[in-house]
Structure 1
Amino acid sequence: MPHPGWSTFSFDGIGTRWEISTPDQLAPVLTGELLAAVEEYDKTWSRFRSDSLVSRLSRGAGSITLPEHAAALEELYAVTYRLSDGAMTPLIGSSLERLGYDANYSLTPLGAAQAPPRWEDVLDWAGTAMTAREPLVLDIGAAGKGQLVDLLGGILRGAGLDDFLVDGSGDMLHAGAHPVTVALEHPYNPRQAIGTVELDNAALCASASNRRAWDDGLHHVLDGTTGKPILTTVATWTMAASALVADGLATALFMVDPAPLEKEFDFSWLKVSSAGSATFSTGFEGRLFT
């Protein structure tokens, strides 16, 4: 929770609710810059917009030039794709659409689950350059919101702000001298918490299968090798220096054991299985309720 007396700038963007908390009210020119950054990110990456940059690739093979921040996103996906043996992939959009999580939010499956094409077979992505060899549905939702949290934090720092909390519906970035205590939402009851964690000049992100669930057991965290929802894990939380890394690894933990990820990334984590058991890293300094 933000500190008492802080001002909060709230808005909707990329399909979710945002709150940016600061000691003083943000100037209109700064709020305008923040909103413009959100709109630009959405217009680049959204598979729900026909006018987005990546949506061009869903209509046919071709090449696009992405913004500079795409390089960090590609690097994260390349590592998690490798460590998950293809389970975490930016091509998962076609599988989501097949199960009903499409641009119209129909939530009506078109048929049985189906894996997307393999990245190495159909897509060349090197930093800001992306080429699709056939029509593809890109979906970078596993890490994109976290990256946008970082980008907004960068705008605040660029404006000279040292104290802030950027909260994109649970994906958070904190900066300042006073840590904040964050409740960890119960995966089966959003009105309850399973514990708390102190966030101190770091990012905290979560992934949960209950956040976007529909039909009979369907949700948005899919295995890219099968196109099916992952049922063994129900919720994860990760802490890292950047929200991009924290967000991406919160999803990767559904598909990869923590040990390989810990060899590649500096982060801490908490994981709740579908059986109800919780495991966590030694660096995840929180308090779980019994």
Structure 2
Amino acid sequence: MVGMSQLQQRMPYTTAFPDALGTGIIIRSAQPISPSMKQDLQTFINEYDATLSRFRSDSLVGRMAAANCGGTYEFPDWALPLFHLYDALHTASRGAIDPCVGEDLTRLGYGADMTFTVEPDAREYTGSIHGRPTWRNDVERHGTTLVTQRAVHLDFGACGKGYLVDLLARRLRENIGGTGSIEGIGSTGNEWLIDAGGDMAINGSDAAQPVSIGMEDPDDTSNAIGIAHMSHGSFCASAPSRRHWGAAYELHHLLNAIDGLPARGVAATWVAVSTSDETDGSPATGARPGTAPNTAPGDTAPGSTPEVARTAALANRPGVSTGTPTDTAADATFTAFPTAAADGLATALFVTEPDRLAQYFTFSCALLTPDRRAMMDSGFPGRFLTA
């Protein structure tokens, strides 16, 4: 396993983009990133934000939200796979994941003005059940051209950070090496890790020396309640703990698009999408099908409670499902953009059953409920720490 000191030795170079997407992006690499390469990455980050940010009135998404009579909007070519992924998530979640939730978030106080004050009549308008526009019915798409008939407030937050990570990873592969499959990883000189506020793409060189990732406790963000290990792939987490308002997490950004209200049944999720064969369900990375996840005696998490120890495998799933894609485009997108997929699935698990999502995507996951019940796929590359 690779701890922080070893990670710094293997990937001693750090390139930071502190203002990217509001959370910042850090790239660790075995080789230095040249000033021209860093500028190229920054330029693309700026373009990405100017296209998709719902917090900017001058962005393409911002202009769509302000167009009461709708319009025709040409998005860059790089946006097409993102649209395909949302098509798949919308289908897999039965409409509970929908980028049109931007309107709901604004009504609940999480808009561009950041008032965090709920509109008095918000509950009468939030969600598709109250006539809010939907991705399927109110956004006509022709490739990367979106056509609307009324104002549509898009929010690509479910997959947005992960998708940007994947696009940056492509640029890194072109410049300092690394591939999307373990056979081509090659030397340690091509190692790198991209971290966008906990959404990670990892390009390691040795499956026997994976990177260790702490699984943050949603009730205490200074504490880890689990640990995961990956050498090559994508790892994303989601929880309302860092983006909530109102008393006792009453309101947060993880909405069910059907009623437009914050999801309540899940406290935190973690999703791994391996781009190698490292997530194989062996005892080293998780539990065998039908058993509790691997927990070594003596593993403890400071501040953890006995409830965290009540782990269980998720519905006898082996973790890496067969995955039935919604269509060819969605399947290709999942393969080519694993961090976006992991990011979207980490959100979808708040509003959709894991087994339902496993019918469409290949992934492994762990989740924690509000009453501190911890569940984990047998193929998840990690474990919960127990008292």
Deviates more, 1:70-79 or 1:220-229: 70-79
Q: Which of residues 262, 278, 286 in structure 2 aligns to 1:229?
A: 262
What is the aligned partner in structure 1 of residue 103 from structure 2? Answer: 94
Q: Which of residues 198, 202, 205 in structure 2 aligns to 1:174?
A: 202
The alignment partner of 1:287 has SS state of strand
Gaps of 5+ in 1: none
The alignment partner of 1:4 has SS state of helix
What is the aligned partner in structure 2 of residue 269 from structure 1? Answer: 365
Q: Which of residues 31, 36, 55 in structure 2 aligns to 1:24?
A: 31
Letter paired with 2:15? F
The TM-score, its normalising length taken from structure 2, stands at 0.73
* Conserved 8 A contact 2:31-2:176: no
What is the aligned partner in structure 2 of residue 192 from structure 1? Answer: 223
What is the aligned partner in structure 2 of residue 150 from structure 1? Answer: 166
Correspondence list, 1:13-92, <5 A: 13-60=20-67, 61-92=70-101
Q: Give the Cα–Cα distance (whole angstroms) in 2 for the partners of residues 143 and 126 of structure 1.
A: 21
What is the aligned partner in structure 1 of residue 356 from structure 2? Answer: 260
* Conserved 8 A contact 2:140-2:148: yes
Letter paired with 1:173? A
Q: Which of residues 4, 10, 14 in structure 2 aligns to 1:8?
A: 14
Q: 1:126 to 1:186 in 2, by over 3 A?
A: farther
Q: Which of residues 109, 127, 145 in structure 1 aligns to 2:143?
A: 127
* Conserved 8 A contact 2:272-2:381: no
Identity percentage of aligned residues: 38
What is the aligned partner in structure 2 of residue 282 from structure 1? Answer: 378
Structure 1 residue 176 displacement after superposition: 2.3
Structure 1 residue 118 displacement after superposition: 2.7
RMSD of aligned Cα (Å)? 1.4
Task: Count how many residue pairs are aligned between Structure 1 and Structure 2.
Answer: 290
Q: Which of residues 244, 253, 261 in structure 2 aligns to 1:213?
A: 244
Q: Give the Cα–Cα distance (whole angstroms) in 2 for the partners of residues 95 and 45 of structure 1.
A: 17
Q: Give the Cα–Cα distance (whole angstroms) in 1 for the partners of residues 367 and 42 of structure 2.
A: 33
Letter paired with 2:29? T
Q: Give the Cα–Cα distance (whole angstroms) in 2 for the partners of residues 85 and 267 of structure 1.
A: 19
Residues 209-230 of structure 1: CA distance to partner in whole angstroms, max 9, x if unpaired? 1121002310000111111111
Residues 73-113 of structure 1: CA distance to partner in whole angstroms, max 9, x if unpaired? 11211122122221110100000000100102111111333
Q: Give the Cα–Cα distance (whole angstroms) in 2 for the partners of residues 288 and 79 of structure 1.
A: 30
Deviates more, 1:189-198 or 1:119-128: 119-128
Higher strand share: 1
Structure 1 residue 126 displacement after superposition: 4.2
The TM-score, its normalising length taken from structure 1, stands at 0.96
Residues 160-193 of structure 1: CA distance to partner in whole angstroms, max 9, x if unpaired? 3331000001000000214211101111111100
Q: Give the Cα–Cα distance (whole angstroms) in 2 for the partners of residues 214 and 57 of structure 1.
A: 26
Letter paired with 1:146? G
Q: Give the Cα–Cα distance (whole angstroms) in 1 for the partners of residues 359 and 156 of structure 2.
A: 23
